[in-house]
Amino acid sequence: TQYGGKGDPGANVAAFETLAFGDLSLLVKFGVQFGLWGGSVHQLGTRRHHDRYLKQIATLELPGAFAMTEAGHGSDVQHLETTATYDPETHEFVIHTPNDEAHKEYIGNAADHGRMATVFAQLIVDGEEHGVHALVVPLRDDDGTLRPGVRIEDCGEKLGLNGVDNGRIWFDR
C-alpha cells in the first residue's frame, strides 16, 4: 500500500480475470507489467529499488519487462549465459550477450514499450562467477530510444495476441 497498491490481492485477481473477457493481449501485458516486472522488483529488489521504481511501475509511468528466458537455454536459469560483470572503475554492471544463443527470447513488453527490465545474468566480480542474479537494466530512454548497446527485435505475429509486444534482446556491454 505504501507504493500505491490497495492491499487487496483478491481485487487484483478479479481485475486480471475480468480483462480476459475483453482483450487477451491486454491481459498478457497487464500480467507482464504488474506480475512479472513489478513482481520481480517487489520480490527480488531492496528498499532502494522499491522506493525508486514501484510507484512508477504501479502507475505505468515505467513500463518494463522480465528478461529471463534465453534462446539456447529456455528458462533453465542455472545455465543462462548472459553476463553481468561488475566494473569497479565505473561502479556499474556491464551486461553482455556472449553469443547468439544467449539472447533473451520472447520477452513480454520488450519489442515496443518496456523501458527497463529485470535481467537475469551470471554475475562476475573480479573474474569470479557468483551464479545467476537479477538486475534492473535500462532498455530505452524516456522517449523510447534504445539505450547504447541494446538491440531489440519484435518476435512477429502472436497467433491472435498481436497486441503483445514480445521481443528478443541482445546486450553489447
Structure confidence at residue 6 (pLDDT): 84
Quote the DSSP letter at residue 3: T
Helices (H) and strands (E) in the chain, counts: 5, 8
Is the CB of residue 123 less than 8 Å from the CB of residue 68? Answer: no
Structure confidence at residue 60 (pLDDT): 94
Structure confidence at residue 33 (pLDDT): 96
By C-alpha distance, which of 129, 108, 134, 109 is closest to 49? 134
DSSP per-residue letters across 78-147: GG---EEEEETTTTEEEEE--SGGGSEEEETTTTTT-SEEEEEEEEEETTEEEEEEEEEEE-B-TTSPBP
For the chain, state the CA radius of gyration. Answer: 16
Structure confidence at residue 34 (pLDDT): 94
Structure confidence at residue 42 (pLDDT): 96
Structure confidence at residue 7 (pLDDT): 86
Structure confidence at residue 84 (pLDDT): 98
Which residue numbers in the chain have pLDDT < 70?
none
DSSP H or E segment with residue 153: strand 150-154
Structure confidence at residue 75 (pLDDT): 84
pLDDT tens for 68-113 read 999 998 888 999 999 999 999 999 999 999 999 999 999 999 999 9
Is the CB of residue 136 less than 8 Å from the CB of residue 118? Answer: yes
